Structure 1
Amino acid sequence: MISTGNRKAFFTALSLVFTLLSFAQPKSGTGALKGKVTDATNGEELIGASVILVGTYMGASTDINGMYLIPNIKAGDYVVRVQYIGYTTQILTDITIKPGETKTLNIALRPQTESLNEVTVVGRKSTVNLESAKSEVTFKFEEIAQMNVRNVQELVAMQAGVVKTQDGLQIRGARVYETEYIIDGVSAQDPLAGTGFGVEVSSGAINSLNLITGGAGAEYGGGSSGVIATTIREGGDKFEISGNWQRDYLINSKNPTSFNTDIVELTFATPIPGTKKKLTLFNNLTTRLTDEYFGPTANQLVSSLLPDQSNLLAPRYSNTHIHTLKLAYQLKPGTKITFTNQFSLSINQNTRMLQIVGFDAILVPGFQYARSQNLDNATTYTHKSILNAININHLINKKLGVNISLGRLFTNLRADANGRPFRTQTVDQIFDEDHITTDPVEIFNPGDPSGTYYVLPGNGLVNNGGISPIWHDHYAQEYSIRTKFTFNPNDNVNFISFGFQHSANEYQWIDVIRPWVGAPIKINDSTFTPSISIGSSNDIWAVKPHNGGLFVEDKITYKGIQATLGLRLNYWAMGRFADEAVENPASPVIDQVRQDYLNKTTKVLGLRWKARLMPRINVSFPVTENNVLYFNYGHSMRMPHPRFVYAGLDPVYQNRSFLANLGNPDIDPEINVSYEVGIKTKVNKDFGFTLTAFNNNRFDYIVSRSVITRDPTGRFVTRTMFINQDYARIAGVEFGFNYRLYAHYNFFGNVAYQVARGKSNSARESALQIAQNGEVQLSREQFLAFDRPWNVNIGLMFNPDSTFRIFGRKITGFRAFAVYQYTSGFRYTPMRRVGELEVRPGVERPLFMPENDKFLARLASPWHNVDLKISYDFFIKRNTGFTFSLEMRNALNNKNAQIINPVTGRAYEYGDDVPNDWRDPRPEYNGPQERGLDPRNPARYLPPRQLLYGVTFRF
């Protein structure tokens, strides 16, 4: 059911739709389109070929001589689609029909060589895709090369409804982990890290990127917010090599716009000799090294996964290495095989590398400010990912084709105290950083006659000899097969696809807090008793779950109307580890969970399985020429983080700490039921826009509850368990446009407004609400912490050709790209002053209390950002030469807050009042009662201005 507020958003969007339609009518007068459709290889006439004016109900079929005629076309600019069974579909853009004109357009179609749905675009990319009934955008390599983006995330972050924060990408108000991320047909997401991404791809290796935020087809089943599908580039029919080097300093790396950054990229592509150009190779190697903008860094990052190579691979604070290799072999016409190897390695001290999904309502930036006095003892993260994909495209006949994707994904994340071993053989010193007093010690009240002295707490920073208490290691290995058949039974009216996807997974999770606890303690060579304890708390398991899906979809096209009806059956098995825990009376599974799991699962092939049906419907139809109304409805799901399922289920190795976590094998996926209505309009060949209203209802979000169970000794203990209960509602409106001016300028932009409300922000928060307010609080809707209502992106590409002159001079080779981004600030709960708190006689600090009746109701200061890239090509000959570039990130040096002071609604500046559980750095308030960190964390703002100088070569 759609709420009242969401219905208002829908009706507002619809009224805007019809207002905009009044400005998008074609010119008065009519004309006609005629021509001949032939085979490009032999010139033979094609009888019965379909010629359609996209975005209208008008079209024709060729006669016995291959001729066609479409009369009575309103004057205007059109896109023409020509298709014939067994041939590549051809899209012709920028076709202008003038009043009284009969335009002749002859088309030669080439036989299909790779797949049943091959498309060739003749002319410029259309400003809006009138044929798609989805909210989607596609970018090709040529467009990406003009932008100042370094990877998939930065490109996607410029699109409508997508917000990039320190946590990751949020699509239409969803959480960062809810996106399905695919590379060459294979899932590329680390299912355990919780970041939404796993394998990183350099922008220079992307052939195309397709982002779907609404109306994803039935073939997709792994995400509930959107789909990011990336295709890797292939080699061409000749040898090409290119490279790029960017750095933010020329000589002195200490200048104000430098983060000590170097970015090096090398690419080459070639046909393999002796294969008659049937086998091609593409290879890309990218390295990004930077010290970021925070200031302090470790003397040397050390990875315990790569201890002998740390000096080479991790010389700076953040180090990323990416390697892409792709082989493509045209076995014969209609059959093509590709092999992709995508590797990425990151070594840094960014805590956002690992996000325990659903635990933290508001995630802080990843800089370890508390340890910034000695980052040599801080947590270092090493994330290694390897993706292998084999894709087979085969045309079985003119009406039936198949694509088979075989994949292996391996991701491994290690977090430790900057490369130190899990724990030393013996413990003969204090490792706990929180129990080492700041040195030197300062006395608050020296000479006090009472003889009682208090120590000043300093700045609250730690690491005076202690080390990070975190030791984490996980790996995820996934073997997958994805098969998709496409069938065109009756001359392009029905386009049926069906297939299946299955993944066999292996997960191992080791999470230990204060790992030195439990090690032998050896002091002065005294005797000691070995211990079997693993840290002060731990969570350890290894599991082998399965998941997959069956899907069928029929895309019906008839006289301009398109309707896609799809159905997907998702199935999953939690694996033998969960099954045995449920069946073992000694396992700490709750009795009700045990019973529900057995009742709701079906045992097949030795495992217990669940399944869920998910319908998908997309409909689009022209309302006037070049104005298409579309509607989407669909169910999608996201599997819960494995930690919610498996934590603490082993009957022997259990975390015995207070309120340890207990997994729930019966937990279900999180569900999204989405509705969307929109209009796509092509005003003319140079201007198009899209207006969309959407409503997402999310169910079965995970919450935590305290339960009582027995430990292996039979004692009753309290554990934190997880269940499906929460929900969220996200409704919004998006507007996007694309405008080309004089063939040299391309303006693009999008504006999104959305509201995200729900019962709680995370599993942890739901339990806190019950503890503080009882179950009544859970029935109240509130703004969600990740709700960012406004998101605006405005961009300009300037790429003049030889006809563009300034003062009579050509500026061919000069290119510029600029983008402005505006995003609403983070939500926060305001605080009001209620009195004073005495620090010392005569000195009182303001006392603040949160306004809980305005929970997350305020928006902090918004984000403004301008990025600019200017480049100049110096060609030796066509497509051969050098490019010099200047890139400015955050060109206006805006201070965008990402740690919010709830007293002021912006980031802390010296002299501001702060909440009483924050440390106030002003000397007059410095006393023994101060707690927390100094609020002057450099990560409280996004990066300041950065200038990067670059040179690129191509041969």
Structure 2
Amino acid sequence: MRKTTLLLIFSMFVSSLWAQDQTGQISGIVTDAETGEPLFNAGVTIIGTYFGEITPFSGAYTFQNVPPGDYSIKVQLLGYGTKQINGVTLAAGEKKVLNIELSPSTEALQTVTVVGQKAQVDLETAGSEITIRKEDIDQMNVRDVQEVVAMQAGVTKTQDGLQIRGARVYETEYIVDGISAQDPLAGTGFGVNVSSSSIQSIDVITGGAGAEFGGGSSGVINTKIREAGEKFEISGRVQTDHLFDPNAATSFNTDIAEINVGFPIPGTNKKLTLFTSGTVNLTDEYFPNQANQLHSSLFTNNTDTWAPRQTNSWTNTIKLAWKVRPGTKITFTNQHSLNINQNTRTLQVVGFDAILTPGYQYNRSNNLDNATTYTHHSNLTAINLNQLLSKQWGLNVSLGRLFTNLRADANGRPFRTATVDQILDEDNIITYPVDVFNPGDPSGIYYVRPGNGLVNNGGISSTWHDHYAEEYTLRAKANWIPESEVHRVSMGLETVFNEYQWVDVTRPWVGAPIVINDTLTSPSISIGSSNDIWKVNPVRGGLFVEDKITYKGIIASIGLRMNFWAPGKFADDAVNNPNAPVIDQVREDYQNKTFGLFGMRWKARLLPRINVSFPVTANNVLYFNYGHSMRLPHPRFMYAGLDPVYQDRSFLSFLGNPDLDPEVNVSYEVGYKSSINKNLAITVAAYNNNRFDYIVSRSVIVEDQTGRPVTKTMYINQDYAKVVGVEVGAQYRIGKHFRTFGNVSYQVARGKSNSARESSLQIAQNGEVALTREQYLAWDRPWNVNLGIVFAPDSTWKPWNVNLSGFEAFFQFGYSSGYRYTPQKQVGVNDLGRPEYEILTDQYLQKSATPWITSDMKLSYTVFTNRAKGSGLTFSLEVRNLLDWKNAQIINPITGTAYQYGDDVPNTWRDPRPQYNGPLETGVDPRNPARYLAPRQVLYGIGFRF
């Protein structure tokens, strides 16, 4: 932290060298744009400085002794909204006159009119926040929200999802048009996909989120869906990577198509507009094997239409916007997405599954027609009302419904059939032909050679899962601005009513009726070899109040949020039922830590937020924020095994703990923002996140309904993690045609365990002393670098008299540290001469594997039919992984990279070399193609806009 402070001081000193000793003056008059009358009591400020005035009756303002530089001037007045003028240049000794006209505004309290180019950095936000708009997204080769966000500072993308500042993927709050868009049961973060063409803007908040946000403990990704304009517009595109040679190494049999239509509804005087969009992304991925056809049991008809490839993604967007009258606006949004694939990462119960395993089912790759197929179907509906009540009061109300359904099964096969006349367990079917290991052994003892360990030799996937989450949300936010405009107070509430159903069964054919020779055995009521079944109706919500104080360049936000939640009647009944499998301590704690209201037991937690920013010199702002945030535990950790009817009596089955508390993050951040000039800006931030009450697992003994003691795995709050880091970002713009952006992040994430399961294993091996040890966390990847270049000339720029208008280029480069792993050392050789290794437990996760390097390129050229409207045809070439870099995501702890044939491997891995392929070899062949991320891919496209 000391080095970070010195870096901030040095940066401020360097930026101050841009200022000269001789100062200037900015003055002018603020008038009504319609009447020309001077405006009294208008607030005029130079953003990023202490200069600020309130206009007298004459409407005049004057700022003396202003250092030379480039500034943004902001003027605001109740009833007129806010006007921001960017790129105001003041030379040394200059006396600039800037008269400003304000138009009456009755749309909303926060209406902001921006004049000039977009500012490179927001000097008024006391936190780490960036807004990416549609214009920026159009120039990038991105397909959805996740790819846009992954380029920002502090964000790391893995096969699990997006991680913000060292947190787990599920800790981020995802919002689409005011409504949560996260599947609370899948554990992947996102629940509803939003294509890049449907986005109006994305706010990415990695530090200093306001009190109105309360659903995540790491950051906020707030997406706003596009609205149609006042004229009819239609656009679309198609892309393919097999235009010339479908067998090329750069082709994954990918096809992408989208269509966007926006127009005002006839007969509404352009007050009612409709935007709709549809996208489809079909691909076979880069793996050599695919299923002949994916099937989804969620669709009884035409399922083949929705899943012609190995990975199939469909999205549809509809947004109606109605300007009822001045000051009143209503929008209706429906965001629909469907994904059908065989990626096991579609379902991950966070904090329990292995972190680093890719989603490709390599062990079933001999016959993926029998592998697990996942269908994720999501639908989000949002109704938003923006109402201006008076010049000082405004109201925003959001009503929403989110429905997500995830089904996993053996590629569409029924849960189980009435007739079981074959062996279905893939692990118990011998793969032929059988190869004998030592046929000439004089002792007559022969061994079967273990082969490659792959299955799908007639058996089917043992996974059957189905869950749905239905959430109804009410959000209301009131804004109040007093006459002085020093304060801007917001207050509100949020309530979410949920219904969750979870059915998780392993080997569902176990217990099915068996019909052999037309003789029916007695039906069985057992549900698979193990199961977890429950349906619950929890409630959650929050109350918040926040005051944003602005005075002569100093901006302070003081907020407080109270989150409340009720586990629901299901949990209440389990605690009160003496025959339910709940341990006595949990019953006692649940009653003592909750309070009764509306027939349910409730918990609550206060979350304070403080953000402060102030200029240290002109256009150089220092900021600080402190805040508490929380994330409710995964519902499975609370409800598993509590249903009195569906009891899983298998050894170490799961038992929920309804008394679990949320996982909490206490964050501190100090940062510095500098607008060196109108085209160059830098940001520096240092943060310290302390995360408490992470979920861990413990073994407990309870009595089942027969009084028999049963050992189960239960969850409690105990783990702790600490993440510290530094981020540096820069944005540079050359005229209107060329801009670059870049950010560098360094962080260290340490804690006591990586998952609930790992914590339990550590105690089993090392006793309770394991709870006092800190170690690197498996998802800690210290370095993350992103660089981007956008070149988009218009008709005014003609180098060497060449008109480059219509040509656009985008280049992206990314670097991130490789996955952490625990090294091993050789300790001997076995009877076959294979080297034997042991884990260096004293160096747990202290090594980093080879880094990830990403590089993408997009080139496009538009043939205009109407240059003023931007209409025409666009031809594009997109290359992903331009350098064809091999990014390892399954790490061999002997070499620190992905497996190459001939490498030594740990003793828990199978060694495929013939001389070592003896009877003691276990596991799966390490030559999994998913050990690397995707290689180079080339896509050709054509688009249109009219």
Query: Under a length normalisation based on structure 2, what TM-score does the superposition of the two structures give?
Result: 0.99
> Counterpart in 2 of 1:90?
83
SS at match of 1:331: strand
- Contact 1:365–1:939, Cα closer than 8 Å, also in 2: yes
1:854 is matched with which residue?
843
Give the equivalent residue in structure 2 for 1:377. Answer: 370
Quick check: 1:445–1:454 contact (8 Å CA) kept in 2? yes
Deviation (angstroms), 1:71: 1.8
Q: Indicate if the aligned counterparts of 2:752 and 2:772 stay in contact, CA closer than 8 A.
A: yes
Quick one: distance in 2 between partners of 1:249 and 1:88? 52
SS in 2 for 1:875: strand
Contact preservation (8 Å) 2:296, 2:373: yes
- Partner residue in 1 for 2:862: 873
Match of 1:395 among 380, 388, 407: 388
Q: How do 1:494-643 and structure 2 match up within 5 A?
A: 494-643=487-636
Secondary structure at 2:138's aligned position in 1? helix
Q: Which residue number in structure 2 is paired with residue 759 of structure 1?
A: 752
1:943 is matched with 934
Contact 2:495 2:542 in 1 (8 A): yes
Give the 3-state SS of the residue equivalent to 1:148 in structure 2: coil
1:460–1:932: 8 Å Cα contact kept in structure 2?
Answer: yes
Output the CA distance in 1 between the equivalents of 2:34 and 2:182: 43
Alignment partner for residue 70 of structure 2, among 70, 77, 80? 77
Deviation at 1:527, TM superposition (A): 4.1
Structure 1 residue 806, shift from structure 2 partner: 3.8
Tell me if structure 2 keeps the 8 A contact 1:27–1:76: no
Instruction: Name the SS of the counterpart of 1:927 in structure 2.
Output: coil
| Counterpart code for 2:776 | F
Give CA deviations for 1:896-953 in whole Å, capped at 9, x if unaligned.
0000000000000011100011111111111111111111100000000001111110
The count of aligned residue pairs is 942
Q: Is the 8 A contact 1:215 1:633 kept in 2?
A: yes
**1:344-373 residue CA offsets vs partner (Å, 9 max, x unmatched):** 000000000000111034230000000001
Taking the TM superposition and a 5 Å limit, the aligned residue runs for 1:208-219 are 208-219=201-212
Deviates more, 1:876-885 or 1:738-747: 738-747
Which residue of structure 1 aligns with residue 899 of structure 2? 908
The aligned residue for residue 31 of structure 2 is 38
Deviations 1:180-232 (A, max 9, x none): 00000000000000001100000000000000000000000000000000000
**Does the 8 A contact of 2:127 with 2:671 survive in 1?**
no
User: What is the aligned counterpart of 1:67 among 41, 56, 60?
Assistant: 60
* Equivalent pair of 1:242/1:952 in contact (CA under 8 Å): yes
- Residue in 2 that maps onto 1:791: 784
| Separation in structure 1 between the aligned mates of residue 227 and residue 132 of structure 2, nearest angstrom | 16
Give the distance between the partners of 1:346 and 1:20, measured in 2 at CA: 47
Q: Which residue number corresponds to residue 444 of structure 2?
A: 451
Pair 1:146 & 2:139 matched: yes
Q: Describe the SS at the equivalent of 1:942.
A: coil
Q: For the residues of structure 1 that align with 2:402 and 2:353, how far apart are their CA atoms? A: 27
Comparing 645-654 with 210-219, which one deviates more in the overlay? 645-654
The Cα offsets for residues 120-179 of structure 1, whole Å up to 9 and x where unpaired, read as 111111111101001001011011100011000000000111100000000000000000
Q: What does residue 722 of structure 1 align with?
A: 715
CA deviations 1:95-122 (Å, max 9, x no partner) are: 0011222212122222334321111111
Superposed CA RMSD: 1.0
Q: Which residue number corresponds to residue 886 of structure 2?
A: 895
Pick which of 107-116 and 252-261 moved more.
107-116
1: distance between equivalents of 2:644 and 2:674? 61
1:586 and 1:856 map into 2 onto residues whose CA distance is 43
> 1:809: Cα distance to partner?
1.3
Q: Distance in 1 between matches of 2:321 and 2:881?
A: 39
Query: What amino acid is aligned across from residue 23 of structure 1 in structure 2?
Result: V
2:628 partner SS: strand
Alpha-carbon separation, structure 2, partners of 1:529 and 1:396: 70
Q: What corresponds to 1:3 in structure 2?
A: none
| Partner residue of 2:121 out of 121, 128, 149 | 128
Query: Unaligned regions of 5+ residues in structure 2, if any?
Result: none
Other structure's SS at 1:16 match: helix
Secondary structure, in 3 states, of the residue corresponding to 1:773? Answer: helix
Aligned-residue sequence identity (percent) comes to: 65
- Residue 827 of structure 1, aligned match among 812, 816, 820: 820
The answer on whether the counterparts of 1:361 and 1:785 sit within 8 Å (CA) in structure 2 is no
CA contact (8 A) 2:356 2:890 kept: no
Q: Helix, strand or coil for the counterpart of 2:301? A: helix
1:115/1:334 contact within 8 Å kept: yes
**Whole-angstrom CA distance in 2 between matches of 1:41 and 1:331:** 23
Matched, 1:52 2:45: yes
Instruction: Give the 3-state SS of the residue equivalent to 1:752 in structure 2.
Output: strand
Residue pair 1:361, 1:765 contacting (<8 A) in 2 also = no
752-761 vs 14-23, which deviates more?
A: 14-23
Pairing 1:13–2:4 present? yes
Letter in 1 for 2:876: S
1:930 match: 921
3-state SS of 1:468 partner: coil
| Cα deviation, residue 747, structure 1 | 1.1
Which amino acid is the alignment partner of residue 543 of structure 2? L
Shift of 1:593: 0.2
Letter of the 1:887 partner, please give it.
E
Greater shift in the superposed pair: 209-218 or 70-79: 70-79
Shift of 1:743: 3.3
Partner secondary structure for residue 599 of structure 1? helix
Per-residue Cα deviation, 1:10-29 (whole angstroms, up to 9, x for no partner): 22111111111122122332
Task: State the Cα distance separating 1:252 from its structure 2 match.
Answer: 2.5
Segments of 4+ in structure 1 off by > 4 A? none
| Corresponding residue for residue 952 of structure 1 | 943
Q: CA deviation at 1:450?
A: 2.7
| 1:489 Cα deviation from its structure 2 partner | 1.1
1:809 correspondence with 2:798:
no
Task: Write the distance in 1 (CA, Å) between the matches of 2:106 and 2:933.
Answer: 48
1:44 shift after superposition: 2.9
Q: Is the 8 A contact 2:418 2:515 kept in 1?
A: no
Q: Decide which of 623, 626, 644 is 1:651's aligned counterpart.
A: 644
Once the 2 structures are TM-superposed, how far is the Cα of residue 559 of structure 1 from its aligned partner? 0.4
Question: What residue number does 1:160 align with?
Answer: 153
C-alpha separation in 2, matches of 1:860 and 1:273: 60
Residue among 179, 190, 203 paired with 2:183: 190
Q: Specify the alignment match of 2:467 in structure 1.
A: 474
Task: Summarize deviations over 1:441-464 as a string: whole Å, max 9, x none.
Answer: 111122433332211111110010
The reply on whether 1:769 has 2:751 as its aligned counterpart is no
Task: Say whether the 8 Å CA contact 1:116–1:400 is kept in structure 2.
Answer: yes
Q: Which residue of 2 aligns with 1:671?
A: 664
Q: Which residue of 2 aligns with 1:276?
A: 269
1:733 aligns with 2:722: no
SS in 1 for 2:345: helix
Deviations 1:381-425 (A, max 9, x none): 000000000000000000000000000000000000000000001
* Matches of 1:765 and 1:151, distance apart in 2: 33
- 1:95 partner SS: strand
CA distance in 2, matches of 1:491, 1:193: 48
Amino acid at match of 1:52: T
Give how far 1:251 is off.
Answer: 3.3
In the alignment, the residues of structure 1 paired with residue 479 and residue 57 of structure 2 have an alpha-carbon distance, to the nearest angstrom, of 28
User: Which stretch has the larger CA shift, 352-361 or 382-391?
Assistant: 352-361
Name which of 685, 690, 706 aligns with 2:678: 685
Which 10-residue stretch deviates more, 146-155 or 516-525?
516-525
Instruction: State whether residues 160 and 355 of structure 2, in contact with CA within 8 Å, keep that contact through their aligned partners in structure 1.
Output: no
Letter in 2 for 1:506: E
Q: CA deviation at 1:741?
A: 2.0
| Secondary structure at the counterpart of residue 585 of structure 2 | helix
- Which amino acid letter does the alignment assign opposite residue 859 of structure 1? S
Matched, 1:920 2:911: yes
Shift of 1:525: 2.6
Answer whether contact 1:444 1:928 (CA < 8 A) is retained.
Answer: yes
**Partner of 1:6 in structure 2?**
none
Is the Cα–Cα contact under 8 Å of residues 444 and 927 in structure 1 kept in the other structure? yes
Letter in 2 for 1:861: T
Task: State the AA in 2 paired with 1:374.
Answer: N
